[in-house]
Amino acid sequence: MSSYQTRRGSFAHFLRGFLQDDGARFRAVLTAEQIEQTARQQALSFATGKDDLSTVPLTLWAFVTQVVSESKSCVAAVARVLAWLTAVGRKVCDAGTGAYCKARAKLTELFLRCLACDAGRQLEDQALDSWRWHGKRAVLVDGSTLSMPDTPANQQAYPQSRAQRPGVGFPILRWVALLGLATGAVLYSAFGP
């Protein structure tokens, strides 16, 4: 994957504009270098052409702002992208959500999980000793199950419990997470059938 460092539209470029007022806090948690390194490690690269718009950095920025904003719709996410494009003097794209939703679907679960766990570990590392249990790092383990839509793909990836009669019930995803006691941040997570 080519480096995003030298291109307009790099990870650093989008992080500078992230939520304008709260950008400094976000950049302190995940740097452009961390995000780019994670993308490179996961071989996550799309829309790398000179005039391509839905790049990994822009799509990640739009997705994160969608998640943390009051308005969580795809329409609002695309509106923020259009406002950003206008502010930096770039050609404005179509206001439809289709291209954004397709690009967002390319942000893999593993990529997003790695970024979330990196941020959690950083946060836990910065916790004050007074927040820790007797000054020591303590880790909590939590897990649960989620029922999923009964689709053939989900049935194949997450088979029903053997305790259920075939064809009755929904596929079940099991997950586990390690949480830092001082901050409550997710340090590691995993899921499976």
**What six digits make up the tokens of 130?**
């007074």
Determine the pLDDT at residue 20. Answer: 47
Query: Do 133 and 174 share a domain, yes or no?
Result: yes
Domain presence at residue 2: no
- Which residues, given as ranges, of the chain have pLDDT below 50? 1-7, 18-24
53-78 pLDDT tens trace = 788 888 888 898 888 888 889 999 99
Q: What is the mean pLDDT of the chain?
A: 82
Query: Do 177 and 131 share a domain, yes or no?
Result: yes
Domain presence at residue 19: yes
Query: Do 102 and 23 share a domain, yes or no?
Result: yes
Query: Do 149 and 82 share a domain, yes or no?
Result: no
Determine the pLDDT at residue 148. Answer: 87
Phi, psi dihedrals of residue 173, rounded to the nearest 5°:
-100, 135
Residue 36 CA to residue 18 CA, distance in Å, equals 16
Handedness of CA 92, 97, 99, 102 (dihedral sign): positive
Domain presence at residue 136: yes
Note the pTM of the prediction, 2 decimals.
Answer: 0.73
- What residue numbers bound the domain in which 86 lies? 11-107
Domain presence at residue 82: yes
What residues have CB less than 8 Å from 184, skipping those under 6 apart? none
Query: Do 57 and 143 share a domain, yes or no?
Result: no
Determine the pLDDT at residue 9. Answer: 53
Q: Count H helices and E strands in the chain, helices first.
A: 8, 3
Domain tally, the chain: 2
